Structure 1
Amino acid sequence: MQYRYYISSASLSAEEFASTVRAHWGIENRLHWVLDVTIREDNCPISRGHAADNLACFRHVALNQIRREKTIDASVNRKQKMATMSEEVLDLIVNA
């Protein structure tokens, strides 16, 4: 069994607190994990000035466009690969 400890000033019931924690991890798993694994955000060595923030914005836009494109039934990773091999797929994603 694993234990997790949280510190909060919020006055919540156990159910409300559990829901809040699950919502936080839902964001972590849905967004940050995809950025780390699929787009390899953590491997980017660029950190000068605002470059890291600017690239993060571009990555978010790219991820949102890939997810918006609904005509291709594929994962984010697969759509990304398909877009590198086909201008038609890239156009679908850009214009989603």
Structure 2
Amino acid sequence: MLMTATFLKHFDSIAEPRIERCKKHNLLDIILLAISAVMSGSEGWEDIENFGHLKLDWLRQYRPFKAAIPRHDTIARVICRLKADEIEKAFQTWISSLLEGTGCDVIAIDGKTARRSFSTKERKNC
């Protein structure tokens, strides 16, 4: 599972913001859930939670999710406490490793924006 190895390698260095007794859900589980959901079109904390419930079997191919999917308020609380520069660095190095692995110059994350079929002024699909 190449995705697991590369994802874990780059995001495992993000500092855990919670104290030990407050860790029901694994940090990497929450990060994988949030990134996967947002890259799939989720636009808020509740969307991320709903994505997790719908895609739990798929997510468990990469991480155990022993405590299942966290509630949206837990996801928000944990993600908001992470250091933005650590997330940015992990994401950039992860994407760079994917580019090297595929030999591509670009990985399109938002095809609608790339094709200009999304109106940023009105925040809706054209």
Q: Bin the TM-score by the shorter chain.
A: under 0.3
**Which structure carries more relative contact order (alpha carbon 8 Å, separation 6+)?**
2
Could you tell me the TM-score, scaled by structure 1's length?
0.27
Could you tell me the TM-score, scaled by structure 2's length?
0.23
Structure with the greater alpha carbon radius of gyration? 1
Report the structure, 1 or 2, having the larger helix content: 1
